[in-house]
Structure 1
């Protein structure tokens, strides 16, 4: 019998992250999205920020002077074995609510669905998924689609009205 992995999820809402489309979003729902991403133990912090903090973090860590939708900061974990009691994955994931809302509107997506997609996207980055090469992107996108489908969220890579 397999046991569910222990996935701890801390959620932080920065004051300036209060964005109307996400006011109905519960922390419990965010935790469900995060937990669906991990087959191994994890300790994840999800932080929602405004554009000022998002821009500062993107500039500090990526050298890009604009707020981006999601940033993932994985922690390098020492390999102490499964019996160490440490989670397999640890990461901080930052979402800029204003950018997520703007992108959803531009792409004709439901803001909450786009938000869920970016939570999943960030969690996969925390596990080492990348999308630099087409083959890597395909693997990551397929995993995202599979996870989102569990929540009845349609394929985020297909725009409405297209096939």
Structure 2
């Protein structure tokens, strides 16, 4: 498997956790599910702390508090109709893959949520990575139909990764 996620770990706990390898596995699963050639796409991932993600959340969303994951798609791919399929990105080449966008994930919030939900950190982070990657592909959860489509994709992809339905 060629890596398609460029991972920068500002918080060393992510390095020890193996975030880069987990993100590559999740990205390959998401793109395979969507019928997209993984070797023709690229994603940037930042493994950071709550402090850093709170700064990003304030800068980009006007919400100066930590969150678990943020995503910035490189292009608007959302569906026009509630519950409709997002627009598919055009693949780049192997030499020049298409950039899907950026994701940031925060250690403390993820750890706290995993503990609060009685899940392993690994399972919770895998879910959040799949969630963030789907956002880069135009999935969203603001409208009911879009949320149902996104949740179904998450459950399907996580099952292929051998993980339980996070919504049960």
What TM-score does the superposition give when structure 1 sets the normalisation length?
Answer: 0.81
- SS of 1:53's partner is helix
Q: Does 1:156 align with 2:149?
A: no
Distance 1:153 1:44 in 2: 22
RMSD across aligned positions (CA): 2.5
CA contact (8 A) 2:92 2:98 kept: no
CA contact (8 A) 1:33 1:119 kept: yes
Partner of 1:18: 13
Aligned residues: 148
Runs of at least 5 residues in structure 1 that lack an aligned partner in the other structure? 159-163
Q: Does 1:142 align with 2:152?
A: yes
Which 4+ runs in 1 deviate beyond 6 A?
none
CA pair 135-7 structure 1, distance change in 2 beyond 3 A:
farther
Q: Does 1:119 align with 2:129?
A: yes
Partner of 2:30: 37
- SS of 2:30's partner is coil
Report which of the two structures shows the higher radius of gyration computed on alpha carbons.
1
Structure 1 residue 12 displacement after superposition: 1.1
Structure 1 residue 23 displacement after superposition: 3.1
Structure 1 residue 112 displacement after superposition: 0.7
Distance 1:147 1:84 in 2: 23
- SS of 1:37's partner is helix
Partner of 2:61: 62
Runs of at least 5 residues in structure 2 that lack an aligned partner in the other structure? 77-88
